[in-house]
Structure 1
Amino acid sequence: MAPAAETDLSRVHCRLDELLAARGMTLTRLSELVGVSLVNLSVLKNDRAKAIRFSTLTAICEALGCEIGELLVLAPGPVSEAP
């Protein structure tokens, strides 16, 4: 069984694909604008990222003209009971 912290992280969904499509922007162009490698943005886009720097998050949101809550959402999951 995965630790609780790891399970919670797996529920974080990045909506980067949707936001890029809505703005007619490519991942390559976003990479150029924010100074983050295409590989790292791809990891984020495919929900494989374990962490993101606040500076990167800020740069992506500024480039896309969005709020953090539009980019990262918590996917539905099992309801855990409080201890």
Structure 2
Amino acid sequence: MTLAALAEQVGVAVVNLSVMKNDRARAVRFSTLTALCDALDCTPGDLFSVVDP
């Protein structure tokens, strides 16, 4: 799936997905996370991990 197709399915801008993809996001709305997980058939843990600074 392309970033553009995912953005359209989730209902966010491609630039916002790009920010998340490149680890530059400071926060993600719960509604966006839910929509991403629905579109990708995954759980939040599949998308994010906690890393010590």
Q: TM-score range by the shorter chain?
A: over 0.9
RMSD over equivalenced CA pairs, Å: 1.1
Q: Indicate whether 1:69 and 2:35 are aligned.
A: no
Question: Percent identity, aligned pairs only?
Answer: 62
Equivalences, count: 53
- Paired residues for 1:1-83 under 5 Å: 25-75=1-51, 77=52
Structure having greater relative contact order (Cα 8 Å, sep ≥ 6): 1
Unaligned runs of 5+ in 1: 1-24, 79-83
Structure 1 runs of 4+ with >6 Å offset: none
TM-score, normalised with respect to structure 2: 0.93
Larger Rg: 1
Higher strand share: 1
User: Normalising to structure 1: TM-score of the pair?
Assistant: 0.61
